[in-house]
Amino acid sequence: MSGIGAAPNKVILTGTVIFVQPLEDNKVSLTLQLEKVKCMFGPCFAQEGENIRCFSFIKIDSFFLNQKIVATAEYIGGPRDGIYQILELEAH
């Protein structure tokens, strides 16, 4: 069943930013190498040790590259084409 999105969810992700790219409309694309995953509510799709695709409207620039962060995020999309939207971000 394609086109069915994930149920409402929220997760706290701890990891290292390994890719950052500015996009249009003040959006930023990044890849996060996960060290820790804490599910707050809803389904949890992230696994410790994997690299995940993310985006955010928070200003994230090359300063964050190779930096450890803690982020509150929501998984958006389906099981094969989902992406995490970073809602809050803290550098560590």
In tens, the pLDDT along 62-79 reads 889 999 999 999 999 877
Give the total number of structural domains in the chain. Answer: 1
3-class secondary-structure state, position 64: helix
pTM given for the model: 0.89
CATH number of residue 75's parent domain: 2.40.50.140
Determine the pLDDT at residue 31.
Answer: 97
User: In degrees rounded to 5, what are phi and psi of residue 90?
Assistant: -140, 130
Cβ distance 20 to 65 under 8 Å?
A: yes
Mean pLDDT over all residues of the chain?
Answer: 91
* Structure-model confidence comparison of residues 58 and 5, the more confident one: 58
Range of the domain at 85: 10-91
Cβ within 8 Å of residue 48, ≥6 positions away: 34, 35, 36, 37
Cα–Cα–Cα angle for 5, 32, 34, rounded to 5 degrees: 90
Q: CA-CA distance, 19 to 30, in Å (whole number)?
A: 5
Residue 63 falls inside a structural domain: yes
| 53 domain-assigned | yes
